[in-house]
Structure 1
């Protein structure tokens, strides 16, 4: 029975990441293949070739993105994009959804954005407890004025950072906090390494191939004097 359990766990450790990876890839490819539906039916590769070739939708979607990016990069295309944004901002319900999505995408994908550029060690949610967060920017405007006016602070020297604190093992959920720059320590690990550290719940340590050894509470507790 111990050998059976050991082999079962070893097999799951090998197959589970592979199966999940293949499932995600299959979902991405099948989803992007649906972009071929925008073509007329007589232009579909299935009709022209007489056989379905998975992945053609991925190539087609990539070409569409590159063409739109190329058109938007010149003067005329930029004016059209500006006109399109202005049009969407005039539609009541669409305006609120589109504005929020565009701000997030501009922050994440823009070359000038600073989202998730640095991994930080911050003391949160209370003193004596530490976690890893990602720098997303700096507060400004009325928010910064309120922060600098907090008791015990110095309005002239206080600097604050906007930090995203992800949850584990799912980093897509988390908390947005604003903390003093002096309370943040920049880590010498990349964003990818920090995400791996968070997703693995501290099991995979960046820069180390060995699993950290954790002492039991009984072993780590100081011995009581008689």
Structure 2
């Protein structure tokens, strides 16, 4: 087998490395967009398959048009949001949650999904009372956390008066740790809940002001 001369092989390797870097740059730029579009399309297809299938059974063939299931799903979600503004629907939802919480396996799944959506939704900031910097004793590191419970005795935990519950999320995955720490280990941060959560979840790659400044640095 004829060997490629080193004078030719070196430029080929450099060109291949350059093409690889260009490809990875393009892939990293377009991948978040593709994933977002894929999730949106999956939700659209799910709504169309669920509600469209129901309409296809209820309506005659000439009256059913593709896309009606998605429209019904959007309208239904909007109506549920409006109805929850009233006392009766809130009581009905509370009763339904009570029933689900009595079913052994269902209550675990439902509780986890409800807490996750509540954390990521508009009421997530109300669940976390404060964004803090955590400094563990005798450890040369700091962590960004969220105070979840100010009074531990109210939930049946016998702790010192100055201890609070702090949630420490993990980067790039759903999970984290809840620590019971004295307040002297915490330093309040002037950072919003969404900015702090994005900073921790993305391992610091998403920083406050990144959209305005381009690279997240403040001058």
Superposition TM-score tier, normalisation by shorter sequence: 0.5 to 0.7
Q: Cα offset for 1:63?
A: 2.6
Give the corresponding residue for 2:182.
Answer: 180
Contact kept? 1:29, 1:57, Cα under 8 Å: no
Of 140, 143, 146, the match for 1:131: 143
| CA distance in structure 2 between the partners assigned to 1:117 and 1:59 by the alignment | 37
Cα distance change, pair 110–161 in 1 and its aligned pair in 2 (3 A) = farther
Which of 100, 104, 107 is the matching residue for 2:115?
A: 104
Q: 1:10 to 1:110 in 2, by over 3 A?
A: closer
Show the counterpart of 2:172: 169
> How does the TM-score come out when normalised to structure 1?
0.66
Distance in 2 between residues matched to 1:58 and 1:181, nearest whole Å: 49
3-state SS, counterpart of residue 188 of structure 1? coil
Alignment gaps of 5+ in structure 2: 1-14
Q: Is there any run of 5+ residues in structure 1 with no aligned partner, and where?
A: 149-157, 213-226
Structure 1 residues 182-201: aligned runs within 5 Å: 182-201=184-203
Aligned length: 196
C-alpha distance in 2, partners of 1:115/1:163?
A: 12
Partner SS state of residue 168, structure 2: strand
Query: Which residue is 1:15 aligned to?
Result: 30
Residues 134, 163 of structure 1: 8 Å contact kept: yes
Question: C-alpha separation between the residues in 1 aligned to 2:110 and 2:24?
Answer: 47
